[in-house]
């Protein structure tokens, strides 16, 4: 510690002349290394199990090389086409060769993709694949092809190739919001009867909002009770709050089905007591209402716990002080107690909203037709229609929406103020 | 234990107040207490003695189980806390952490719907009073403990309450700061003519600041008196033991003679003492004697009580020397020898004579405590 004066000539030096910062880093290196080693397994696990697959899937949302790989010659010929009139012989020849010489599997996958752009592509190429080799022995191809299927003479089919030309596409994203490219790569709305996703997005946001507000309204008083009751009562209440966590999600949802369905406990009780007619049973299951009710119940602990953990740290003396200074209890609550619980409220709101917006199981089981959310659509495209590009695009949009919310929250409240349990 | 002053001077009155939290035991047992206008009254007692409960009942946060509390002649049992207009400094200050110092001070004025300019000037004045004018824009978390304490005092006074309650306000401060704040609070009290009811378990704090001290123990008032009376003329063994340092000699009264009595200590000596809490010969008693009232090697005939003593231990404390000695069969007899010029120089093992007057040696009730 001999040379610790900060002279104008240079940085601080230790006794042997090495700069202080270097010595400090050296002395801490071992412990830092040891700390890094300890978190290494978790880090690797996260990267392999979480980061890589998600990145891979997200990249699928823009990947559009399927058709390029299946129809290489066609896209070369496409460059010299005016995109207005029917293509010339060269382009017919190119696509003929692509279809007849290409690998069946590659072409099959590509036709699925082409069908998203214009329904009919798949059947057209399938049919052509069967008949081209039998019926067309050599050039010229154009008229022969149109003879086999007159859709080859329809210029709109050819035009859709323009949307599939680039190896990257925003098509899946456009699709996820009910839009598509026209022949000249302008973004247009889909036909009316094929618009579904925008409505789904709105429904998802609306439902998440209702669930969040409902959770907040119910969680706040419960959290306050939890934080202020004597220990033996609050412990009991805490067990009641946590019980749902320990019960299987499916069991809970099925229990709600028993309660809410048309012939369920609630409706039967209302009919039995004469409040409802037998014909006018309340529809509370397999619809939007059912999804809201069940999701509020399932997500309630996510709201209670962060609020509780903040309330627990607020000593009762603040409320007393506010009242002592002349504020009636309601005003004391509003001006002194509530603002101090905001970090917990913020954490709970953002947690519940984020979980709700991507929720899948509950809407799947109790949502019926008008309780389906975007999460269900993602699952559908992953598992049933196998349109992974669209599923990835929807997932990316969902992730972006969440990050955006997070950013907004950070700007308004500040993430440092948020306290998770 | 009424103080015997006229009704008009009493600003706060506890009338036969009892308090129980669980319905099984009484925390406050039949409290009768008058606080005079402009007085600085301290409730002093060990923890659990009921002093804070008293304060909470006065502030309105705890209802009295029985009895009535009067503020300025009006019963206030049914008045909610926010209508009582009593200022209070809490144990941990309870400054609102999400508001700045200015906002904290403005809060009681805003809820009273005072106009903006008036609020501004009163907040400014209150901050000047506690010498924190530059700190108005800070949050409580950015202030030191002593500064927070001063803000709490300013907030309790900014709306001009006639009565201010303080619940161990200096408990969280270090010793030096605590002593400084004691004087500051005392000066504020003298300047503003408010009535202060102050709760503490620190007896030196109580002695420094109060006009009167009310010593609590297990829900009853042991003694209510001025600091001087309390220290020099304790009424019972608990007060003598609780306030200041004290030598106790247990014994039995052998004869009573007017104000004085003779006591045979359990160590076998006969001591001449002031009769305080004993009635007749044969009563058990505890003699109480302050360590600084004992003289070493007194002139013969000066005191009625002179005994042989053996010095056991000396502890040097700067301003005085604490001497432990064996006297009358008691080995933990403490004498404070002031470090004045020409004071007696003792060594451990010396044989000396200790002497004290009968007035300084008070025959009290039998001490029950530890």
What is the tens place of the pLDDT at every residue in B206-258? 998 999 999 999 889 999 999 999 998 898 889 988 888 888 888 889 988 88
Q: How far is B196 from chain A (nearest CA, A)?
A: 15
Residue B370 has pLDDT above 90, yes or no: no
Residue A11 has pLDDT above 60, yes or no: yes
Residue B360 counted as domain residue: yes
pLDDT exceeding 90 applies to what percent of chain B?
49
What is the pLDDT at residue A70? 87
- Chain B residue with the nearest C-alpha to that of A328: B82
What is the pLDDT at residue B3? 43
Residue B177 counted as domain residue: yes
A317 touches chain B (CB under 8 A): yes
What is the pLDDT at residue B82? 93
- Chain A residue with the nearest C-alpha to that of B60: A324
Residue B99 pLDDT grade (very low, low, confident, very high; cuts 50, 70, 90): very high
Residue A2 has pLDDT above 50, yes or no: no
Residue B98 to residue A328, Cβ atoms within 8 A:
no
**Whether residue B112 sits in one domain with residue B142:** yes
Residue A7 has pLDDT above 80, yes or no: no
**Whether residue B132 sits in one domain with residue B80:** yes
Using CB atoms within 10 Å of the CB of residue B363, give its burial: 0 to 12 exposed, 13 to 18 middle, 19+ buried.
buried
Residue B1 counted as domain residue: no
Residue B348 counted as domain residue: yes
Residue B106 has pLDDT above 90, yes or no: yes
**Whether residue B226 sits in one domain with residue B247:** no
Residue B96 to residue A331, Cβ atoms within 8 A:
no
What is the pLDDT at residue A180? 84
Residue B370 counted as domain residue: no
Using the 3D structure, point to which of B237, B264, B291 is the last residue of a domain.
B237
Average pLDDT, rounded, for chain B: 89
Domains identified in chain B, total number: 2
Round to whole Å and give the CA distance between B107 and B158. 10
Please name the residues in contact with A373: beta carbons below 8 A apart, sequence gap of 6 or more. Answer: A200, A203, A204, A207, A291, A359, A360, A363, A367
Q: Per residue in B335-345, pLDDT tens? A: 998 888 777 77
Which range of A65-74, A361-370, B135-144 scores highest in mean pLDDT? It is B135-144
Query: Would you list the DSSP string of B74-85?
Result: EE-TTS-GGGT-
A340 touches chain B (CB under 8 A): yes
Identify how many contiguous H helices and E strands chain A contains and give both numbers: 21, 2
Average pLDDT, rounded, for chain A: 87
Give per-residue burial for B145-154: e unless 16+ CB within 10 Å, then b: ebbbbbbbbb
A133 touches chain B (CB under 8 A): no
DSSP letter, residue A256: H
Domains of chain A: 66-167 (no CATH), 197-417 (1.10.3720.10)
B59 touches chain A (CB under 8 A): yes
Q: Which of B61, B98, B159 faces A320 most closely, judged by CB atoms?
A: B61
**Whether residue B343 sits in one domain with residue B267:** yes
Residue A315 to residue B107, Cβ atoms within 8 A:
no
Residue B96 to residue A332, Cβ atoms within 8 A:
no
Residue B94 to residue A331, Cβ atoms within 8 A:
no
Round to whole Å and give the CA distance between A184 and B172. 76
What is the pLDDT at residue B148? 93
Residue A420 has pLDDT above 50, yes or no: no
Residue A419 has pLDDT above 80, yes or no: no
Q: Per residue in A265-314, pLDDT tens? A: 998 999 999 888 888 888 888 889 999 999 999 999 999 999 999 999 99
Q: Considering only CB atoms, which chain B residues are within 8 Å of A340? A: 96-98
Q: Per residue in A344-357, pLDDT tens? A: 998 899 999 999 99
**Whether residue B192 sits in one domain with residue B170:** yes
Regarding beta strands B195-200 and B40-44, do their DSSP bridges make them parallel or antiparallel, or are they unpaired? parallel
Residue B80 to residue A340, Cβ atoms within 8 A:
no
What is the pLDDT at residue A161? 85
Q: Which of B90, B96, B112 faces A326 most closely, judged by CB atoms?
A: B112
- CB B231, CB B243: distance < 8 Å: yes
Residue A9 has pLDDT above 70, yes or no: no
Residue B107 to residue A325, Cβ atoms within 8 A:
yes
Q: Per residue in A36-95, pLDDT tens? A: 899 999 999 999 998 998 888 888 888 888 888 888 888 888 888 888 888 888 888 888
Of A222, A376, A246, the closest CA to residue A304 belongs to A222
Using the 3D structure, point to which of B237, B258, B288 is the last residue of a domain.
B237
Q: What is the mean pLDDT of residues A393-412?
A: 88
Can you give the residue range of the structural domain that contains B276? 238-364
Tell which of B21, B22, B96, B106 to mutate to test the A interface (max A CBs under 10 Å): B96
Q: What is the mean pLDDT of residues B264-287?
A: 86
Q: What is the CATH number of the domain that holds B40?
A: 3.40.50.300
* Residues 155-214 in B contacting A (C-alpha not used; CB under 8 Å): 155, 159
Of A158, A168, A164, A154, the closest CA to residue A185 belongs to A164
Q: How far is B85 from chain A (nearest CA, A)?
A: 7
Q: What is the mean pLDDT of residues B301-325?
A: 89
B362 touches chain A (CB under 8 A): no
Q: Considering only CB atoms, which chain A residues are within 8 Å of B94? A: 315, 317-318, 320-321
Prior bond of A336 cis (ω within 30°): no
Residue A10 has pLDDT above 70, yes or no: no
Using the 3D structure, point to which of B237, B257, B275 is the last residue of a domain.
B237
**Whether residue B181 sits in one domain with residue B51:** yes
A69 CB neighbour count, 10 Å cutoff: 14
Q: What is the mean pLDDT of residues A242-261?
A: 88
Round to whole Å and give the CA distance between B164 and B149. 14
Question: CA dist B61 to A329, B31, B56, B156, B273, Å?
Answer: 12, 17, 5, 16, 46
**Whether residue B230 sits in one domain with residue B164:** yes
Residue B40 has pLDDT above 90, yes or no: yes
DSSP letter, residue A278: S
Please name the residues in contact with B264: beta carbons below 8 A apart, sequence gap of 6 or more. Answer: B251, B252, B254, B270
């Amino acid at each position: 510690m001999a040379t610790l004066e900060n002279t104008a000539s240079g940085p601080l030096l230790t006794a042997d002349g090495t700069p202080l910062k270097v010595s400090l880093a050296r002395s801490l290196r071992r412990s830092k290394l040891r700390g890094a080693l300890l978190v290494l397994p978790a880090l690797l696990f996260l990267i392999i199990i979480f980061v890589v697959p998600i990145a891979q899937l997200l990249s699928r949302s823009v990947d559009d090389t399927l058709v390029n790989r299946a129809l290489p010659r066609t896209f070369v010929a496409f460059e010299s086409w005016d995109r207005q009139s029917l293509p010339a012989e060269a382009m017919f020849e190119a696509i003929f060769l692509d279809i007849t010489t290409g690998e069946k599997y590659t072409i099959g996958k590509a036709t699925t993709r082409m069908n998203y752009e214009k329904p009919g592509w798949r059947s057209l190429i399938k049919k052509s694949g069967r008949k081209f080799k039998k019926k067309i022995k050599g050039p010229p191809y154009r008229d022969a092809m149109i003879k086999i299927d007159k859709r080859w003479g329809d210029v709109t089919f050819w035009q859709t190739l323009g949307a599939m030309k680039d190896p990257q596409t925003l098509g899946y994203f456009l699709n996820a919001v009910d839009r598509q490219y026209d022949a000249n790569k302008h973004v247009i709305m889909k036909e009316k009867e094929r618009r579904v996703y925008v409505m789904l997005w709105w429904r998802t946001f609306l439902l998440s909002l209702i669930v969040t507000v409902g959770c907040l309204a119910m969680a706040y008083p419960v959290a306050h009770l939890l934080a202020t009751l004597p220990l033996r009562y609050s412990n009991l209440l805490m067990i009641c709050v946590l019980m749902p966590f320990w019960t299987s999600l499916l069991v809970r949802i099925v229990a709600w089905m028993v309660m809410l369905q048309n012939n369920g406990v609630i409706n039967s009780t209302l009919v039995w007591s004469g409040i409802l007619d037998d014909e006018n049973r309340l529809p509370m299951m397999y619809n939007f209402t059912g999804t809201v009710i069940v999701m509020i119940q399932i997500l309630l602990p996510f709201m209670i716990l962060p609020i509780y953990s903040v309330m627990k740290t607020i000593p009762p003396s603040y409320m007393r002080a506010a009242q002592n200074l002349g504020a009636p209890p309601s005003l004391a609550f509003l001006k002194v107690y509530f603002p101090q619980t905001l970090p917990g409220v913020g954490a709970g709101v953002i947690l519940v909203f984020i979980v709700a917006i991507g929720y899948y199981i509950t809407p799947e089981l109790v949502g019926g037709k008008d309780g389906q959310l975007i999460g269900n659509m993602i699952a559908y495209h992953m598992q049933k229609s196998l349109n992974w590009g669209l599923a990835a695009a929807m997932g990316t949009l969902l992730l972006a929406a969440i990050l955006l919310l997070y950013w907004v929250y950070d700007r308004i409240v500040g993430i440092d103020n948020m306290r998770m349990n | 234990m009424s103080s015997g002053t006229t009704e008009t001077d009493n600003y706060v009155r506890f009338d036969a107040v009892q308090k129980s939290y669980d319905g099984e035991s009484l925390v406050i047992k039949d409290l009768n207490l008058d606080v005079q206008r402009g007085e600085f009254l301290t409730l002093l007692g060990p923890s659990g003695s009921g002093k804070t409960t008293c304060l909470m009942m006065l502030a309105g946060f705890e209802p009295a189980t029985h009895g009535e509390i009067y503020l300025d002649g009006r019963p206030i049992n049914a008045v909610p806390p926010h209508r009582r207009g009593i200022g209070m400094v809490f144990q941990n200050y309870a400054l609102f952490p999400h508001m700045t110092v200015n906002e904290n001070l403005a809060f009681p004025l805003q809820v009273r719907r005072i106009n903006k300019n008036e609020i501004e000037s009163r907040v400014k004045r209150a901050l000047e009073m506690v010498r924190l004018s530059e700190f108005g824009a800070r949050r409580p978390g950015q202030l030191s403990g002593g500064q927070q304490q001063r803000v709490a005092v300013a907030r309790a006074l900014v709306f001009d309450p006639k009565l201010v309650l303080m619940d161990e306000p200096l408990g969280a401060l270090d010793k030096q700061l605590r002593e400084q704040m004691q004087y500051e609070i005392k000066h504020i009290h003298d300047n503003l003519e408010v009535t202060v009811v102050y709760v503490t378990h620190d007896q030196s704090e109580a002695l420094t600041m109060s006009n009167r001290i009310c010593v609590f123990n297990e829900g009853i008032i042991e003694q209510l008196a001025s600091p001087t009376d309390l220290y020099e003329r304790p009424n019972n063994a608990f007060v003598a033991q609780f306030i200041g340092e004290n030598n106790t000699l247990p014994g039995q009264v052998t004869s009573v003679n007017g104000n004085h009595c003779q006591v045979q200590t359990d160590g076998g000596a006969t001591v001449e003492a002031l009769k305080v809490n004993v009635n007749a010969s044969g009563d058990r008693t505890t003699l109480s004697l302050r360590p600084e009232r004992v003289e070493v090697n007194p002139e013969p005939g000066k005191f009625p009580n002179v005994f042989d003593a053996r010095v056991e231990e000396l502890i040097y404390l700067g301003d005085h020397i604490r001497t432990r000695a064996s006297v009358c069969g008691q080995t933990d007899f403490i004498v404070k020898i002031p470090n004045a010029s020409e004071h007696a120089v003792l060594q451990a093992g010396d044989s000396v004579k200790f002497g004290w007057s009968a007035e300084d040696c008070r025959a009290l009730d039998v001490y029950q405590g530890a």
